[in-house]
Amino acid sequence: MILALTKGYLCPTQPFNGKVHSVFRRSVNIKTDLKETPWVSLLDDTLPATPTAYQCDFRSLQDLTTMVNVGDTVFMRGEIIRLKPPSRLAINTVVATNWQQAPPLPFINKKRVWHNILIAERIFAEYISEKEKQPFISISEYIQYLGLNTPRCIYSLPEQLVENIGRGKGLTPSGDDFLLGVLAVLSYVREAHPDAATTYQRFQIQVPRDISKTTDISAHYLTLALSQHFSKPVQWLVYYLFTATDRLTIETAITTNLLIGSSSGADTIAGIVYCINKLLLS
């Protein structure tokens, strides 16, 4: 039996039945029969924690794709998740602890935010320049490189950003990850910034109309974002960009996100920094 080390704050504790939606070397996504939590993930503890995922100690298992198949039956009873057949893999979630969410934003210090964004852009540009083997001096250049649509004023035409849904390759296309970063900022500052709350509400109306253009996995994360739920690395990066008082904290948070997926972390950071710039610093 495999131990779940942490669990997202939206993970179910009640029994459920389900099927394996997708399986990768270090993760399994499950479609459940629960209305409140229709999607649950089992992730290796080296992958980023999400609101609907159990992080597990998969070190004893070399490759989950050799053990689990799409369509396999899954059920949870007594907080034990079992997959059968043929794997008979069992996940004990009883002792899993909730990962710590980022605290609310106390207030907005524009000078501090501006300083932190400059640090973030330098770290980001250096990383992307090396990765893509071409020079980038700003996140704006990277957004252009991705070919994403962005309005000059995020308040006037936020719906233009929704056009990016499904744009790009991968399980979570670049346009979706970018939009997720935008939503993370709007959600986080909505209490302290009335225009952010209004803009966020407009996304809550428009995104569901276009969400069928993307993958099931990406649609799941966008749906969570529309209800103000984000992964642990994204939450804490947004928090630190508004509150950190030292470079090391920013650098650590940026690096943690950059290491997510092939480009998902970078694309999400681009959305976060773009939104903060348009919201507060333009």
pTM (predicted TM-score): 0.95
Query: CA 237, CA 102: separation in Å to the nearest integer?
Result: 9
Does the CA dihedral 210-214-216-219 come out positive or negative? negative
CB 198 within 8 A of CB 242: no
Distances (CA, A) of 52 to 10, 61, 168, 190: 5, 22, 25, 23
**CA angle (208, 50, 220) in 5-degree steps:** 20
Of 2.70.70, 2.30.29, 1.10.1740, 2.40.50, which CATH number belongs to 2-98?
2.40.50
Query: Strands (DSSP E) along 93-217, which ranges?
Result: 97-98
pLDDT of residue 282: 67
pLDDT per residue rounded down to tens, the chain (282 residues): 899 999 999 999 899 999 999 999 999 999 999 999 999 999 999 999 999 999 998 988 889 999 999 999 999 999 999 998 777 899 999 999 999 999 999 889 999 999 999 999 999 999 999 999 999 999 999 999 999 999 988 988 888 999 999 999 888 999 999 999 999 999 999 988 888 999 999 999 999 999 999 999 999 999 999 999 999 999 999 999 999 999 999 999 999 999 999 899 999 999 999 999 998 876
pLDDT of residue 42: 98
Q: Where do the CATH 2.40.50 domains begin and end in the chain?
A: 2-98
Cis peptide before 15 (omega within 30 of 0): no
- Name the nearest CA neighbour of 54 among 104, 16, 105: 16
